[in-house]
Chain A
Amino acid sequence: MIYRENGQFKTSYGADQQIFPIAQDRWAVLAIIAFAFIGVPLLADEYMFRAILIPFLILSLAALGVNLLVGYCGQITLGAGAFMAIGAYAAYNFLIRIDGMPLLGALILGGLTSAAMGILFGIPSLRVRGLYLAVATLAAQFFWDWAFLRIKWFTNDSSSGSVSVSNLDFFGWTIDAPAEKYLFCLGMLVVFGLLAKNMTRASIGRQWMAIRDMDVAAEVIGIRPMWAKLSAFAVSSFFVGVAGAMWGFVHLGSWEPAAFSVDRSFQLLFMVIIGGLGSIVGSFFGAAFIVILPIFLNQMLPALGGLFGVSISTAAVSHAELIIFGVLIVFFLIVEPHGLARLWATSKEKLRLWPFPH
């Protein structure tokens, strides 16, 4: 009843091509963004910001980048964690080695460095594909894990290998309170989300999708596979790199190479697949699912045990967490292999017809 587009006529090409062609969608998204900017900082407490909201925003950005590559261009990557690390360490080096480097400049330069490395490690995609490529991208992961651990120059010769960034200054705005960090991450995410959405609607995104659907056929109709694949690697690594830099700078503050291990890569791929391949909104769903589920399980299981009068040891809780997490992932893949985004689309479709489905 409420969600219906009767009477919304499109009278110009601009109206036909807008991101949210249905007025209700447009208003809902604007309302969500407004709520995120104004309502959430008023309501959330510090724990919410630190443990859930900031990680969610930053990992959404990273998942967005991975989704551009895996979901839109069809190149499976297991090396996303390495590109986060490259972004973080490159931004760190730009920040401390160049005097007066602004925060935004360091983040962007970190992203660009990551993009350059993405192109380099994307070259195998011109020859190999599918699972072979997935394993090949692990090379990037292990190489950079090693490099940031062993090559002291990257970590500014710090003895423990951990680096830290303080005094985040965004054009005169000092970001230190959790709410400020949240707003900064949210702002970045909105800008990058819009960028990603528009890219997928533009020529470059269509090229990626053509390559994903069948690269030989795409080549036949005149799409250059090299350009399309490498641009996907570059853009994706840029997103992931910026997210990595933000993860280091804003969320962690000080970090070690272990923060961007292969588990992080798996986690990002999980987000994309659970959220929905080839869907912008899916990246957010996936990130929310993967960030919140472990915290939820961690809080719930001892409480649940207490309910039945069983006290569960921490080791048992962590094992149970693993089991439930694994089971839920397999369950979701079986029930909805196209991810949460598909569930979302189906429910929207149902809502359009409600309450008269026939």
Chain B
Amino acid sequence: MAFFLETLIGGLMAGMLYALVALGFVLIFKASGVFNFAQGAMVLFAALAMARFSEWFNAALGGDSLLLANILAFIASGGVMFVVAWVIERLALRNLVNQEGATLLMATLGITYVLEGVGQTIFGSEIYAIDVGMPKEPVMMFENLFEGGILINKEDFIAALIAAALVAGLSLFFQKTSTGRALRAVADDHQAALSIGIPLNRIWVIVWCVAGIVALVAGIIWGSKLGVQFSLATVALRALPVVILGGLTSVPGAIIGGLIIGVGEKLSEVYLGPYVGGGIEIWFAYMLALVFLLFRPQGLFGEKIIDRV
């Protein structure tokens, strides 16, 4: 029982991390109808920027204040992500308005290549570490309830808390601010939003910026967990089933989907994996999402798809 709970909690926390990446997909899809394959590359780019800036600032400050260096690096990386968002909107997306979904998807794949190339050219292509002072040691909990207690990774726990805070903040931003309202209007109907005077291009820059910041947070958390390296870009592929499971247009869907996928992956790997040779978590998530889709084609919380002739 304790082992099961341990796996379950581990899955939930891994799920929050997936949700963090999935959130970036959802934000951009909601506002511009672009299925942004470049989210993974953005995570890598942001993490690379963060790792290197932190290193450089730390060296410049003489190495006595890691916290200050990290804060400066965070601000600088945020600035870099803003520039990235602006360039993508200006050079690519603005010229691709009204294209089909598949074309936009391919364009973001092209952007992926550019981001990977530029990121590694500027920041280097070695493996870097991000040290933001996340505690690494696991803690025991509920020792009075179960024999031996449950081992919980503190780092995952904090990451999950950050993810939750980010989601809450984003929900507030979407619901309560006028920019958020404009974003939702654009998501509903581009033309209607334009006709009441919402500047579409600026909204898109904002959305890509927000997605860039989300990518930065995801990059920091994933980066401090796994190290900043090229394989970070493939995190996007792990997050895709989360997105379609939760529904492409739903922020809470990304979270719930992430939790379901995280738990499903961990439980399947632990209880099913040994029978079939292990390593099944990557496709199991997709299969899980597929089965969900067969019953709810729009995902758990996606908008209902209505067809008219």
Q: A316-B121, A329-B106, A330-B92 are in contact. Are A127 and B297 (CB under 8 A)?
A: yes
A289 within 8 A of B: no
Contacts of B121 in A (CB 8 A): 316, 319-320, 323
- Contact between A150 and B107, CB atoms less than 8 A apart: no
Main secondary structure of the interface of B (DSSP, over half): helix
Q: Is A227 in the interface zone, CB < 8 Å from B?
A: no
Q: Could you tell me if B107 and A139 are in contact, using CB atoms closer than 8 angstroms?
A: no
Does the CB pair A337–B99 fall under 8 Å?
Answer: yes
Q: Which residues 128-180 in B have Cβ within 8 Å of A in the complex?
A: none
Give residues 82-117 of B contacting A (CB, 8 Å): 91-92, 95-96, 99-103, 105-107, 109-117
- Report the Cα distance A217→B308, complex, angstroms: 8
Chain B residue contacts of A139, Cβ below 8 A: 241, 283, 286-287, 289-290
Q: Is the CB of B286 within 8 A of A76?
A: no
- Cross-chain contact of A142 among B107, B282, B308 (Cβ < 8 A): B282
- Among listed B62-70, B71-79, B216-224, B273-281, interface-contacting one: B273-281
Given contacts A128-B293, A132-B297, A326-B113, contact A333 B309 (CB under 8 A): no
Q: Say whether B283 contacts A146, CB under 8 Å.
A: yes
Q: Which of A76, A135, A319 contacts B289 (CB 8 A)?
A: A135
Instruction: Kindly identify which residue among B96, B120, B240, B248 contacts A337, using a CB–CB cutoff of 8 Å.
Output: B96
Nearest CB of B to A125, in Å: 10
Most A-side CB within 10 Å, residue of B102, B107, B280, B297: B102
Given contacts A139-B290, A270-B109, are A322 and B96 in contact (CB under 8 A)?
no
Whether B113 and A216, one on each chain, are in contact in the complex, defined by CB atoms closer than 8 angstroms, is: no
Closest to A76 in B: B102
Question: In angstroms, how far is the closest chain B Cβ from the Cβ of A192?
Answer: 23
Select B237's contact among A76, A136, A262, beta carbons within 8 Å: A262
Which residues of A38-72 are within 8 A (CB) of B?
A: 70
Per the bound structure, the CA–CA distance linking A124 and B100 in Å amounts to 21
> Does B125 make an interface contact (CB < 8 A)?
yes
Q: 8 other contacts beyond A136-B286, A327-B110, with CB at 8 A cut-off?
A: A76-B102, A132-B298, A135-B243, A135-B286, A139-B289, A217-B309, A320-B121, A329-B113
Which B positions have Cβ atoms within 8 angstroms of A? 35, 91-92, 95-96, 99-103, 105-107, 109-118, 120-121, 125, 237, 240-241, 243-244, 248, 276-280, 282-283, 286-287, 289-290, 293-294, 297-299, 307-309
A interface residues, Cβ below 8 angstroms from B: 70, 76, 124, 127-132, 134-136, 138-139, 142-143, 145-146, 149-151, 214-217, 220, 262, 266, 269-270, 273-274, 277, 315-316, 319-323, 325-330, 333-334, 337
List the 4 closest pairs (A to B, CB-CB), nearest first.
A326-B113, A322-B117, A329-B110, A139-B286
